Structure 1
Amino acid sequence: MPVRRTTRWIPLSLLAAAALTAGVLAQAPATASPTAATASTTVSPYDDTYYQNAIGKSGAELKSALHTIIKSQSKVTYDQVWNALKDTDEDPANSANVIEVYSGKSISKSLSGGDAHDWNREHVWAKSHGDFGTATGPGTDLHHLRPEDVTVNSIRGNKDFDNGGSAVSGAPGSYTDSDSFEPRNAVKGDVARMILYMAVRYDGDDGFADLEPNDKVSNGSQPYMGRLSVLKQWSLQDPPDAFEKRRNQVIYDKYQHNRNPFIDHPEWVESIW
Structure 2
Amino acid sequence: SFLTAKYGIQTEHLYPRSFGSATMPALGDLHHLVPARATINTLRRNAPFKDIPDEQTKYWIHKYKVIATIPRYDIQSYSESKTNAFEPPELRKGDIARAMFYFYTFYRSEADKK
TM-score bracket relative to the smaller structure: 0.7 to 0.9
- The sequence identity of aligned pairs, in percent, is 27
- The 5 A counterparts of 1:1-273 are 113-115=3-5, 117-130=7-20, 132-133=21-22, 135-164=23-52, 165-171=57-63, 172-204=77-109, 209=110, 211=111, 223=114
Q: Deviations over 1:20-68 (max 9, x none)?
A: xxxxxxxxxxxxxxxxxxxxxxxxxxxxxxxxxxxxxxxxxxxxxxxxx
Work out which of the two has the higher radius of gyration on C-alpha atoms and give 1 or 2.
1
Query: Higher strand proportion, which one?
Result: 2
Q: Which runs of 5+ in 2 are unaligned?
A: 64-76
Cα distance in 2 between the residues matched to 1:154 and 1:116: 17
Report the TM-score, using the length of structure 2 for normalisation.
Answer: 0.73
**DSSP-derived class of the 1:161 partner:** coil
Aligned length: 97
Higher relative contact order at CA 8 Å, sep ≥6: structure 1 or structure 2? 2
Q: Deviations over 1:141-163 (max 9, x none)?
A: 10000001112111111100101
Report the TM-score, using the length of structure 1 for normalisation.
Answer: 0.33
Q: Which runs of 5+ in 1 are unaligned?
A: 1-110, 213-221, 224-273
Corresponding letter in the other structure for 2:60: V
Considering only aligned residues, what root-mean-square deviation do their CA atoms show, in Å?
2.2
Corresponding letter in the other structure for 1:118: G
Shift of the 180–202 alpha-carbon distance from structure 1 to 2, 3 Å rule, reads same
Contact 2:61 2:78 in 1 (8 A): no
Q: Deviations over 1:2-31 (max 9, x none)?
A: xxxxxxxxxxxxxxxxxxxxxxxxxxxxxx
